[in-house]
């Protein structure tokens, strides 16, 4: 079942097309990543589905509820773009306002503050917080009322490495507990590590969408192969020559005494190892890699930055 | 609505600007009227003519309602300024977005601001009523509700000022710009009003047509116009130049402006990106 269906969403800012006929749906109980370079339209997209930005064309539907749009939002925990709080109020008072708007009890406040390690600072004013603490408070606010759907826009923004790891763990735990998480990020590694599904957006255009695993396994027409295998032997030149005889090996590139082979799905580590052994070559390294999301991302979006 | 206002109160009650500006207003209303009281008392003691013209102090009932409303109205900038600051704070902190993301509708966000503007106006009016009672009773005059309509005019003016503040804050979204624009606008309106006044005098001299002062029908002046100086009655000059006999017309204009402000702010809040 789809939690959110987006149909032909378009947003124009004067001459700039921030979103161009984007359509996809977010399946229930997934971690759905919206991946794209800076300025690709991720925040605009989330802003539209949260009703703070009006679309120029197209529609969206949050499924599974017959309530009005704003009552539906009360049951979605959202962090959009930046942590937005009253600077002169304490962390706790800020969460009190959010909880009351959501129509939730205030019993949750202490719990969510503990989840993001901010409980000791609950009485400190928001403007005394560091960027990372502000971000964690925003995540705490999204967790109020234990919503089934969470929308995170760049959730690890401004966090230190330990904080990033904590939040990623938290997202994984939320996913395991059966929640749907929609997460925008420009960090490939983050999406690869955390998300089950991904939509790649570039300059407002949806490039591809699907489960992360499937996306990384899809062979690309121009390069052919989808497996990357790294091997080496004492005599790399002899190995290179021998590999010409093996069907399924598309390209061979030597990088720092290691041969990188792009192969079709037919090749496995075992086949390759047996082949070399039969040809009198003993491998001292064999590493079978799937194509990383980064490779796919660059294939899909091109190598140039949008900026 | 009570639920929305309770949330709004959480935002406002701990804000230093709120405590400062409301105290300034309350103290200011009393102080301004006290200064006027001392001044008038002094003048009346010294100038024999005024004694002849005036029967009783402007701080006696019934005049006290009019007098206190008039002098206090100069301080209505303060609650309006507070409205400007409170709304532009939301834009500044982007909490207007967060409130909506968390589950308010855009109209609910506007509705609670409108209600706050109205409550501030009522609160300001209450301060004026109390001040008028203190002065009226302390002069030893007999209590009377005659002239109480001036309190209603004061309320109308307070609502108009707060609505102008609300609209400017919604349109500019930036606190500095909103505050500057609010002051510039009030000065601008007085300027335009002055120009129209000179124009009206010229037209009257040239063709004999009395345009009265068209400036009185501008948004903030329309609500101002209903409150005339308590000293008019014995100066006799102002009144002959600026006829205030069009009270009903001015009132209609003032109410129309309020409706326009409401529709404009609603359109802004619903139609634009936040």
pLDDT tens digits, residue range A242-279? Answer: 888 888 887 788 878 888 887 777 788 888 889 998 88
**Mean pLDDT: which of A83-97, A153-167, B44-58 is highest?**
A83-97
Residue-level pLDDT at B128: 94
Pick the residue with more confidence: B7 or A290?
A: B7
**Of residues B140 and A138, more confidently modeled:** A138
Q: What is the DSSP letter of A90?
A: B
Confidence of residue B93 (pLDDT cuts 50, 70, 90): very high
How distant is the Cα of B270 from the closest Cα of chain A, in angstroms? 9
Chain A: closest CA distance from residue B16 (Å): 9
Residues 6+ apart with CB under 8 A from A83: A134, A135, A137, A138, A141
Quote the percentage of chain B above a pLDDT of 70.
Answer: 82
Which of A295 and A122 is assigned the larger pLDDT? A122
User: Distances in Å between the alpha carbon of B110 and those of A21, B104, B107, B166, B266?
Assistant: 31, 10, 5, 10, 7
Q: Which residues of A fall below an 8 Å CB-CB distance to B? A: 47, 50-54, 68-71, 73-74, 78, 80-82, 84-89, 93, 96-98, 100-103, 141
- pLDDT for A307 equals 42
- pLDDT band at B235; cut points 50, 70, 90: very low
In this predicted model, which residue has the larger pLDDT, B186 or A273? A273
Residues A50, B100: C-beta atoms closer than 8 Å: yes
User: Between chains, do A88 and B16 touch, taking CB under 8 Å as contact?
Assistant: yes
Q: For position B242, what pLDDT does the model report?
A: 45
pLDDT at residue B171 above 70?
A: yes
Coil/strand/helix, residue B6: helix
The pLDDT of residue A222: 44
Whether the pLDDT of residue B18 is over 90: the answer is: yes
Percent of chain A with pLDDT over 70: 91
Could you report the per-residue pLDDT of A127-165, keeping only the tens digit for each? 999 988 999 999 999 999 899 999 999 888 888 888 888
Q: B271: which chain A residues are within 8 Å (Cβ-Cβ)?
A: 54
How many residues are listed for chain A in this entry? 307
pLDDT at B62 over 50: yes
Cβ distance of A102 and B99 shorter than 8 Å? no
- What is the structure's pLDDT at B200? 75
In chain A, which residues have their Cβ closer than 8 Å to the Cβ of B104?
A: 70, 101
Q: Highest mean pLDDT range out of A64-78, A177-191, B187-201?
A: A177-191
Look at residue B211 in the predicted model and tell me its pLDDT: 62
pLDDT at residue B241, as a whole number: 43
Q: What is the ipTM for the molecules in this complex?
A: 0.83
- Global pTM reads 0.81
pLDDT-above-90 percentage for chain A: 40
The C-alpha atoms of residue A144 and residue A146 are separated, in whole angstroms, by 5
**CA separation (Å) from A107 to A104, B3, B64, B101?**
8, 18, 52, 21
Most confident stretch, A288-292, B121-125, B241-245: B121-125
Stretch among A119-133, B12-26, B45-59, B178-192 having the lowest mean pLDDT: B45-59
A196 compared with B239, residue with greater pLDDT: A196
The mean pLDDT value for B207-220 works out to 68
Q: Which residue of A has its CA nearest to B7?
A: A97
pLDDT class for B117, splitting at 50, 70, 90? very high
Contacts of A54 in chain B (CB under 8 A): 271-273
Q: Flag if A100 and B7 touch (Cβ within 8 Å).
A: yes
Q: What is the pLDDT of residue A191?
A: 86
Of A100-104, A303-307, B131-135, B164-168, the one with minimum mean pLDDT is: A303-307
Residue of A nearest to B274 (CA): A52
Percent of all residues in chain B with a pLDDT value above 90, rounded to a whole number: 41
- Give the CATH fold of the A227-290 domain: Alpha-Beta Plaits (3.30.70)
Task: Tell me the average pLDDT across A20-47.
Answer: 91
**Spans of all domains in chain A:** 2-213, 227-290
Contact A86, A41 (CB under 8 A): no
Residue range A196-203: mean pLDDT, rounded: 91
CATH class (in words) of the domain with range A2-213: alpha beta
Q: Which H/E stretch holds residue B224?
A: helix B219-225
Q: Which pLDDT does position A256 carry in this prediction?
A: 82
Tell me the chain B residues in contact with residue A102 when contact means C-beta distances shorter than 8 Å: 102-103
Kindly state the tokens that stand for B50. 């005024």
Residue B89's alpha-carbon distances to A35, A84, A142, B108, B129, in angstroms, are 32, 11, 22, 17, 31
């Amino acid at each position: 079942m789809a939690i959110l269906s987006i149909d032909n969403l378009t947003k124009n800012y004067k001459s700039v097309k921030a979103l161009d006929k984007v359509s996809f749906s977010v399946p229930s109980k997934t971690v759905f990543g919206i991946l794209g370079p800076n300025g690709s339209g991720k925040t605009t997209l989330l802003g539209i589905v949260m009703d703070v930005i009006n679309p120029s064309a197209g529609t969206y539907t949050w499924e599974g509820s017959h309530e009005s749009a704003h009552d539906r939002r009360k049951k979605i925990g959202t962090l959009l773009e930046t942590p937005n709080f009253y600077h002169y109020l304490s962390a706790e008072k800020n969460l009190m306002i959010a909880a009351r708007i959501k129509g939730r009890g205030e019993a949750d406040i202490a719990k969510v503050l503990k989840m993001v390690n901010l409980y000791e600072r609950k009485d400190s004013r928001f403007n005394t917080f560091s960027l990372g603490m502000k971000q964690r408070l925003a995540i705490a606010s999204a967790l109020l009322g234990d919503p089934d759907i969470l929308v995170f826009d760049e959730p690890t923004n401004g966090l230190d490495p330990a904080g990033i790891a904590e939040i990623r763990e938290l997202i994984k735990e939320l996913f395991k507990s059966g929640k749907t998480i929609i997460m925008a990020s420009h960090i490939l590694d983050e999406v690869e590590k955390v998300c089950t599904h991904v939509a790649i957006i570039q300059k407002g255009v949806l490039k591809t969408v699907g489960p992360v695993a499937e996306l990384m396994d899809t062979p690309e027409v121009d390069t052919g192969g989808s497996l990357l295998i790294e091997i080496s032997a004492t005599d790399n030149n002899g190995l290179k020559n021998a590999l010409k005889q093996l069907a399924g090996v598309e390209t061979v590139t030597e990088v720092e005494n290691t041969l990188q082979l792009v192969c079709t799905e037919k090749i496995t580590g075992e086949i390759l190892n047996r082949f070399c052994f039969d040809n009198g070559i003993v491998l001292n390294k064999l590493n079978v890699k799937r194509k990383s999301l980064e490779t796919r991302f660059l294939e899909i979006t091109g190598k140039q930055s949008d900026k | 609505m009570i639920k929305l206002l309770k949330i709004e109160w959480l935002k406002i009650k701990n804000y230093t600007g709120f405590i400062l500006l409301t105290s300034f207003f309350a103290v200011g209303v009393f102080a301004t009227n006290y200064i006027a009281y001392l001044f008038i008392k002094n003048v009346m003691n010294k100038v024999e003519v005024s004694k002849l013209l005036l029967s009783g102090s402007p701080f006696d009932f019934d005049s006290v309602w009019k007098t206190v409303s008039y002098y206090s109205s100069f301080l209505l900038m303060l609650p309006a300024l507070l409205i400007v600051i409170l709304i532009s704070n939301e834009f500044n902190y982007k909490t207007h977005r967060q409130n909506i993301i968390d589950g308010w509708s855009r109209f609910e966000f506007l509705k609670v601001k409108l209600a706050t503007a109205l409550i501030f106006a009522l609160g300001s009016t209450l301060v004026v009523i109390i001040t008028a009672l203190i002065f009226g009773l302390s002069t030893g005059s007999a209590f009377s509700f005659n002239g109480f309509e001036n309190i209603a005019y004061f309320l109308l003016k307070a609502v108009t000022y707060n609505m102008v503040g609300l609209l400017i804050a919604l349109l500019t979204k930036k606190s500095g710009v909103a505050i500057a624009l609010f002051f510039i606008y009030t000065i601008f309106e007085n300027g335009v009003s002055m120009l129209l006044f000179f124009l009206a005098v010229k037209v009257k001299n040239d063709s004999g047509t009395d345009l009265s002062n068209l400036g009185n029908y501008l948004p903030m002046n329309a609500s101002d116009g209903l409150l005339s100086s308590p000293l008019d009655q014995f100066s006799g000059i102002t009144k002959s130049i600026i006829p205030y006999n069009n009270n009903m017309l001015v009132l209609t204009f003032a109410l129309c402006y309020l409706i326009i402000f409401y529709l404009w702010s609603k359109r802004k809040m619903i139609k634009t990106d936040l």
